[in-house]
Each structure stands twice: as C-alpha cells, then as structure tokens.
Amino acid sequence: MDIITIFQALLRWGMFALIGGLLLGLTIFASYMIYKKVFHGQRSMSKTQGITLFLLCCWLMLVLALTNISRGANFTGSFNIDFFSAYVNAWNKWSISELQLIIFNMLMFTPLGFLLPVFWKKAEKFKVTFFVSIGLTICIETVQLLTGTGIFELDDLFHNSIGSLFGYFCIMAILSIIREKRVRFIPIGKVLIFPCVIGIIIGTVSYVYEQQSYGNMPILPAAKQNMSKIQITTDLSLADQPTTASIYKSTYAEDQNYIERMIAGLSELEDVNFSSIKRREGENYVYTGKSSNSEDVQLNFFFRTGHWSYTTWRDATTLTEEAAKNYGNFYKNWLKENGLLPDTAVFSIQNNDTLRWDAPEEKDLSNAKTAFTTGSIFMQFDNNLELTSINYGISWNEYVATEEIISPKAAFKQVEDGNFEQYVPFQQGDTLWVKECKLAYVYDTKGFYQPVYQFTGYINNEDHSWDCQIPALAK
C-alpha cells in the first residue's frame, strides 16, 4: 500500500468516520445525560472533553473502517506471532510501500495517544495510555481474526503502541508548556526521539543495502512455514556439491532516461499527454494522462525489470486477418525504430484479438555469459482499430559475473526448513510431494537476474499443485 492509496482510503472513509463518530458521540452523550439527570451523577464533562470525545469517536470509526469494514473476508483467520516480520518483508522486497504501511500503522494510533489525556485526566499517566492502546489494538485484531478481514499480528500491537505513545508524548509536551509557561527539554526530547530513531534506522538500513553487490530477493518469506505438521516425500536424487552460475542484470532497471524515452515515444505515437507527476505503487512507477479525445490513459513501469504496460481502459475487439497484418507491420516498425524489438522476436496473432511478439529465452542461462533478451509483447485494439493496450514484457539482460551457488541438496534443506513463500498455510497431516528441481532465474530488488532453485510437486494429490523458489546464490 503506497502513500497515494493510503490517502485515497482516508478520503474514501472520511465521511463515514465523521457521521459514525457523530452518532457514536451522540450515543455516549445521551448516556451521559441519563447518568446526570436520572441517576444524579456528580461527574461533569467540559466543552473541551466533549469536543475531544467527538474526535476520538471519529478516529475510532475511521480505524474500524480501514482495518475491518473496507476489507473483504479474504484472510485465513490465523495468527502471525513472528515479531518484526513486517520489517523482514519490507527488507526482502526493499519496498517503500511496505515501509509506508509500517509508518502508517504507527501514525494511525497517534490521535489516540494525543487525545486520550485531554479527555481523561488519568490518561496523563504513561501506563494508562499504554495499556489502553494495547487493549484497543487487541480488540481490533481479534475482530479481524474472527471476521476473516485480517490476521492477528504481533507487529500491529507494536506499531500501534509506538504511534499512540508518540501522540502521548506530543500532547504531554504541549501541556507542559501551557501549564509551566516555559519550554523544557525533557518533554520535547521524548517527542523527538521517535522520528530520530526511525530516521537513524532507515538511514543505516539504506546504507547497508547500497553496499550490497546484489539486491534482496522478494521471493523470500517474512516468516518460515510450519513444516512440523506435514510430511515431505520425494524420490529426487539431488547433488550435494556447490557449483557456479551466471548473474545478469536488466539493462533498463531503474533507468529514468529509458522511462522518459518511452513516455515521449508513446505520446507521439498515440497523441497522448502524460502528467509530469509520477507515483509509486509497489515496484511500479505510474503515470497518468489524457488522450486527444480526453480519455484517461495509464502507463506503468516495472522499474526493476524494464517492463511496462500502457492502457486506455477500452475493451479489445477481434481483428480481421488484413488488419492484424497491417497493424503488425506498423507497430513492428515502431518497435524497431525505438530499439524495443529484438531480432529473435517471432510475430503471431493470439485469439484473433492480440498482436504478439515472443523472444525465446536462452536454454542454459547458467553458463551463457552473454547478453540476451527474452519475453513477450502483447497489443490489443478497440472497435475503431485504435490501440487500447500494450504489455511490454521483453527483458534486455547483460552478463555481470559468475558466482558460486549452493547445491540442489542444500536448497532442498531450505524447503525442509520451510524457508519459502506460501500464501495458504499447510494443514495438519498434509503430505508434500516434491517431484522436480531445476535451476531458474528471477529478478532481485536491484534488477539483477539471479539463479534460484525451483521445486515443483503437489500437496496430497496431483490436483493441488505446489511450487517454490529457493535463492541459489551462496552467501
């Protein structure tokens, strides 16, 4: 979830939070009036407390909307007790989006720590605000668990508590200035320690990442799979001696000049004006624009591979044989002129509605030691025979080095240890049948094309296929 998506979610559910907070606040106020009038209660509520209560109600409704109501019941109803798994995931993917999500989870509870001491005098004590934050987070996580709208995660308890305490120290510093009519360093220092520590951590981790020869492997899991509940069966005979393999890199990985060249080329080809503003979604740079007839278009660059996609959102239509031939020749020339079509690419027509070019991959990349191209290009057209989409998936790779890799047997040990990514957890009593092991390649977070061992098989029976990838590069 990137920062744009977060703000869109906040705007989408803002009105719900406002109305829900008002209704909840009125309900609490009505209960308060019954307490005062019927039961002759002695405790009073000031205007400041009333306003603070309303803000707390709006905040609570917004949090419930973001964490429960806005999500479908798509989760498995499980626990994630691996502490700091969110940080491991952000590191493996080297993802700004994941980092933004972590910081957002902290800031999401900052209003609680800020407002609670204003509303409730006892919450000026550190432990009161701390335990209220923990208790409310546990309630929200439990609701997610029971409704299937999320996973009960220890990291969320940590992040929410950090955010709440940051808000708490902010309001206590303000109250200190108001009450004492002077600025003291200790309350201000408690506020500054949070952004300073986070900044130092991010800076240190970024430095370590930049010093690495290669990038991180997004295929690695944030937490290992629980293999104690299953049985692994294989008849593979795996070599136990390390060997070597070639490393490659995408020619256009994170190449801003290449991106600008593609934007200019598409703008001229399709008479489109792209905005100069780009946003980042995961591993994509996203550019939006308008066609000559004011229709929305979008261009996504996968900056780690050099792939990109262009869409007008219009539906594709079937092409006649003549149209497919003419448009195939026209766009082939355009691709060639812009250096986008390798000589090895083979043209074909798919499903009578898609122009396609395929560049076959080298048979043995592990020993090629030369530059190569591979991948496919897809183009579709609408009823007016105007271009509706391009999916450019050609990878231009350069040979970088030959490195030592672990043995297949050592890679299989990683499988046995559960050190691989799997979305649906294993169930008690499952049998994992591992039937094949081969050397494949995937891109890391710096655009290097690294070797991995790819294991395939099935769970319990052949109708439930299974596969995983284990990084092959020796540490």
pLDDT score of 281 more than 80: no
Examine the domain organization and report whether 359 and 429 are in the same domain: no
pLDDT score of 77 more than 70: no
- Both tokens assigned to 388: 């509706």
Query: What confidence category does residue 176 fall into, taking pLDDT thresholds of 50, 70 and 90?
Result: very high
End-to-end CA distance of the chain: 31
Decide if 194 contacts 162 (C-beta within 8 A).
yes
Residue 225 counted as domain residue? no
pLDDT score of 1 more than 70: no
Examine the domain organization and report whether 393 and 278 are in the same domain: yes
Residue 35: the pLDDT is 86
Decide if 312 contacts 320 (C-beta within 8 A).
no
pLDDT score of 423 more than 90: no
Per residue in 208-250, pLDDT (tens digit) is 999 999 999 999 999 899 899 899 999 999 999 999 999 999 9
Residue 293: the pLDDT is 84
Per residue in 99-152, pLDDT (tens digit) is 988 999 999 999 999 999 999 999 999 999 999 999 999 999 888 888 877 788
Examine the domain organization and report whether 371 and 425 are in the same domain: no
Decide if 317 contacts 381 (C-beta within 8 A).
yes
What DSSP line would sit under 294-332, residue for residue? S-EEEEEEETTTTEEEEE--PPP-PPPHHHHHHHHHHHH
Per residue in 43-68, pLDDT (tens digit) is 888 999 999 999 999 999 999 998 88
What is the rounded distance in angstroms from the CA atom of residue 99 to the CA atom of residue 94?
9
Of the listed ranges 11-20, 28-37, 277-286, 422-431, the one predicted with least confidence: 277-286
- 237 by Cβ neighbours in 10 Å (0-12 / 13-18 / 19+) ranks as exposed
Examine the domain organization and report whether 327 and 428 are in the same domain: no
Q: What is the span of the domain harbouring residue 413?
A: 231-242+406-471
User: Mean pLDDT, to the nearest integer, of 186-215?
Assistant: 95
Residue 75: the pLDDT is 62
Decide if 99 contacts 151 (C-beta within 8 A).
no
- Which residue would you say has higher pLDDT here, 461 or 361? 461
Per residue in 256-267, pLDDT (tens digit) is 999 999 999 999
Question: Which percentage of the chain shows pLDDT scores above 70?
Answer: 98
Residue 314 counted as domain residue? yes
Length of the chain: 475
Number of domains the chain is built from: 3
Examine the domain organization and report whether 372 and 417 are in the same domain: no
Residue 223 counted as domain residue? no
Question: Which percentage of the chain shows pLDDT scores above 90?
Answer: 76
Decide if 284 contacts 302 (C-beta within 8 A).
yes
User: Mean pLDDT, to the nearest integer, of 361-375?
Assistant: 88
Residue 219 counted as domain residue? no
Residue 278: the pLDDT is 80
CA-only gyration radius of the chain, Å: 28
Identify which of 341, 381, 303 has the alpha carbon closest to the alpha carbon of residue 97: 303
What is the rounded distance in angstroms from the CA atom of residue 125 to the CA atom of residue 110?
16
Examine the domain organization and report whether 64 and 111 are in the same domain: yes
Helices 110-119 and 126-147: crossing angle, nearest 10°? Answer: 130
Residue 10: the pLDDT is 83
Instruction: Give the single-character DSSP code of 123.
Output: G
User: Mean pLDDT, to the nearest integer, of 400-418?
Assistant: 97
Examine the domain organization and report whether 385 and 425 are in the same domain: no
Identify which of 77, 76, 78, 102 has the alpha carbon closest to the alpha carbon of residue 88: 102
What is the rounded distance in angstroms from the CA atom of residue 473 to the CA atom of residue 401?
12
**E-assigned strands of 339-464?**
346-350, 354-359, 372-381, 387-392, 395-405, 431-443, 448-459
The CATH code of the domain that includes 348 is: 3.30.310
Decide if 241 contacts 410 (C-beta within 8 A).
no
What is the rounded distance in angstroms from the CA atom of residue 255 to the CA atom of residue 151?
37
**E-assigned strands of 1-145?**
79-80
Instruction: Give the single-character DSSP code of 376.
Output: E
User: Mean pLDDT, to the nearest integer, of 79-93?
Assistant: 89
pLDDT score of 70 more than 80: no
